[in-house]
């Protein structure tokens, strides 16, 4: 399983708080830590732990955080041959509440030095991959370059459209698997998402725009999937959430691995849900994944 991730690398600055702070309010945190993050890096770390050979296309800062983030990726056996160094390392200011909910503010930093040219320079890693995985924490034009290169070479594209932004139909038509959460689904479609019916209708409109398959992550409600031929709901793994940061990333990484293992879509979602369920029981976005997590293998 060869995967290429084109995406973000962050340092997460995490505050444990009783609840997510309200506008105009000042509250005390009960804990503080820095850890490795970035949606791209989190997804890559998940895939590598699940047995994939991962190549990363990204950028870290010319600073101590950048060196540490590179070492972290290499410790997970991820190739950093296509990770450049410029500016300051991206970071994320994260509040994690007592119920495990999070709120995140991004500082793009070096992630915005990932240019279409740097993506094209990694062409070999993209065209040789079994799947290319992307998110939206690097400039959109670089995401477009990655999707076009993969699509021209018949490499499946998994796009996690986070943070949410509107995408063109021509781009969506080149995406094989799109994995929005409810908020992202609303932004992508301009539809109000508040019922099961509205989720189904929004996914159908994305299929009409050319996406091959949509998998909507619904937190503790599980996931909904459709490719126009088969569709359904998959329950989430029941756990006590300590920190939901990185759950979506673990889901995306495991879903990609499951599909590369030729699991059915439903089984790959079930697998991804088990992995994400494990991640929320631990603090931090990148957690160790036990090898015996999925008895279905
Ligand atoms: O999805 C969680 C991630 O979002 C965090 O690790 C943070 O860095 C932001 O990219």
Mind giving me the DSSP string for 233-293? EEPPPP---S--TTHHHHHHHHHHHHHHTT--HHHHHHHHHHHHHHHTTSSSSS----TTS
Over residues 49-60, mean pLDDT: 97
**Which residue CA neighbors atom 6 of ligand 1 most closely?**
37
Q: What sign has the CA pseudo-torsion 259, 260, 263, 264?
A: positive
DSSP, res 181: B
Supply the pLDDT for residue 291: 84
**Closest ligand 1 atom, CA of 102?**
2
Over residues 246-275, mean pLDDT: 96
**Closest ligand 1 atom, CA of 11?**
8
Q: Please tell me the distance from the alpha carbon of residue 27 to that of residue 223, in angstroms, as a whole number.
A: 34
Cβ atoms of residues 144 and 159 within 8 Å: no
Supply the pLDDT for residue 293: 83
**Closest ligand 1 atom, CA of 91?**
8
Over residues 243-272, mean pLDDT: 96
Q: Is 249 an active-site residue? A: yes
Over residues 143-155, mean pLDDT: 98
- Please tell me the total number of residues recorded for the chain in this structure: 297
Supply the pLDDT for residue 220: 87
Question: Any bridge partners for residue 118, and if so which?
Answer: none
Q: Please tell me the distance from the alpha carbon of residue 221 to that of residue 239, in angstroms, as a whole number.
A: 12
Q: Please tell me the distance from the alpha carbon of residue 226 to that of residue 215, in angstroms, as a whole number.
A: 7
Ligand 1 pocket, CB under 6 A: 8, 10, 12, 37-39, 42, 92, 104, 137, 245-246, 248-249, 285
Question: Any bridge partners for residue 105, and if so which?
Answer: 93
Domains assigned to the chain: 2-279 (3.40.1190.20)
């Amino acid at each position: 399983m060869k995967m290429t991730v084109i995406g973000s690398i962050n340092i997460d600055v995490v505050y444990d708080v009783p609840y997510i702070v309200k506008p105009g309010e000042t509250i005390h945190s009960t804990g503080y830590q820095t850890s490795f993050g970035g949606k791209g890096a989190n997804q890559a770390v998940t895939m590598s732990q699940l047995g994939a050979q991962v190549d990363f296309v990204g950028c870290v800062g010319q600073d101590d955080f950048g060196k540490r983030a590179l070492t972290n990726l290499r410790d997970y056996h991820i190739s950093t041959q296509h990770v450049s160094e410029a500016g300051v390392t991206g970071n994320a200011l994260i509040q994690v509440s007592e119920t495990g909910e999070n709120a995140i503010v991004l500082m793009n930093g070096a992630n915005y030095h990932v240019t279409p040219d740097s993506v094209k320079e990694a062409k070999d890693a993209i065209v040789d991959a079994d799947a290319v995985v992307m998110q939206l924490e690097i400039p959109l034009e670089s995401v477009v370059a990655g999707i076009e290169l993969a699509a021209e070479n018949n490499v499946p594209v998994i796009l996690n459209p986070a943070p949410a932004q509107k995408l063109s139909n021509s781009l969506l038509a080149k995406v094989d698997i799109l994995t929005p959460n409810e908020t992202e689904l609303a932004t992508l479609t301009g539809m109000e998402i508040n019922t099961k019916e509205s989720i189904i209708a929004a996914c159908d409109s994305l299929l009409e725009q050319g996406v091959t398959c949509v998998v909507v992550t619904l937190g503790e409600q599980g996931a909904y999937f459709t490719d126009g031929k088969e569709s359904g709901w998959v329950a989430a793994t029941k756990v006590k959430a300590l920190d939901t940061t990185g759950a979506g990333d673990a889901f995306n990484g495991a879903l990609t691995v499951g599909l590369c293992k030729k699991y059915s879509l439903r089984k790959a979602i079930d697998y991804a849900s088990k992995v994400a369920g494990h991640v929320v029981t631990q603090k931090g976005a990148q957690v160790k994944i036990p090898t015996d997590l999925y008895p279905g293998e």
